[in-house]
């Protein structure tokens, strides 16, 4: 299912298909950034998580917290060591949600993510499509609505010719 379809389905399921409706949803009670739960890492608006990618392709959490201001960075990969990847979640100027992935890994990476929200006091999540991240490059995921949180479920090496978003 494509990102647009997933976002629409997710928005309808959670009852915030529009920006006006999104403001009516109570702020979710979610685990703090960096808390691993059910094999995932939660990120909320303004958060950044950094993972080291080992020679075997396994990702290890290095740190999580507030994302640096864009003004504090000279390049998207500023502050990332070799063989690291970062995930930063932020709000766009039109109420949209952005997930920026920066990679200094030596190989292409593929990751799985879920968008998370709250409805009727229950935390709900839906899988979303993601695109492979090339070595030394950035990737941007964009949802048209406010997404309270994103869970990074897994990170793995991708095949060099893998360019398909899934």
Q: What is the pLDDT of residues 45-75, one digit of tens each?
A: 999 999 999 888 888 888 888 887 655 554 5
Note the pLDDT of residue 40.
78
Neighbours of 31 (CB within 10 A): 17
Whether 163 maps to a domain, the answer reads: no
The answer to whether residue 42 scores a pLDDT higher than 90 is: no
Which residue from 32, 35, 40 is spatially nearest to 59, judged by alpha carbons? Answer: 40
- The DSSP call for residue 9 is H
Whether 120 maps to a domain, the answer reads: yes
Whether 166 maps to a domain, the answer reads: no
Whether 162 maps to a domain, the answer reads: no
Q: Which domain holds residue 94?
A: 3-157
Q: What is the pTM of this model?
A: 0.73
Whether 135 maps to a domain, the answer reads: yes
Whether 165 maps to a domain, the answer reads: no
Q: How many structural domains comprise the chain?
A: 1
Q: What is the pLDDT of residues 89-100, one digit of tens each?
A: 998 888 899 999
Q: What is the pLDDT of residues 107-146, one digit of tens each?
A: 999 999 999 888 888 888 899 999 999 999 999 999 999 8
Looking at 7-137, which runs of residues are DSSP E strands? 36-37, 40-44, 47-53, 59-66, 84-91, 97-103, 109-119, 122-128
Neighbours of 24 (CB within 10 A): 9
The answer to whether residue 11 scores a pLDDT higher than 80 is: no
Q: What is the pLDDT of residues 22-38, one digit of tens each?
A: 333 333 344 444 444 45
Whether 164 maps to a domain, the answer reads: no
Whether 75 maps to a domain, the answer reads: yes
């Amino acid at each position: 299912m494509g990102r647009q379809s997933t976002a629409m389905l997710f928005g309808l399921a959670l009852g915030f298909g529009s920006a006006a409706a999104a403001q009516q949803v109570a702020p979710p009670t979610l685990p703090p950034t960096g808390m691993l739960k059910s094999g995932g890492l939660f990120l909320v608006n303004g958060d950044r998580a950094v993972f080291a990618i080992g020679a075997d392709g396994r990702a290890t959490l290095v740190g999580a917290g507030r994302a640096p201001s864009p003004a504090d960075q000279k390049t998207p990969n500023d502050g990332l060591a070799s063989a690291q990847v970062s995930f930063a979640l932020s709000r766009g100027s039109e109420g949209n949600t952005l997930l920026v992935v920066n990679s200094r890994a030596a190989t292409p990476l593929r990751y799985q993510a879920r968008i998370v929200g709250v409805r009727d006091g229950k935390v709900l999540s839906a899988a979303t499509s993601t695109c492979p991240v090339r070595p030394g490059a950035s990737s941007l995921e964009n949802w048209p609505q406010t997404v309270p949180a994103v869970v990074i479920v897994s990170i793995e090496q991708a095949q060099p010719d893998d360019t398909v978003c899934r």
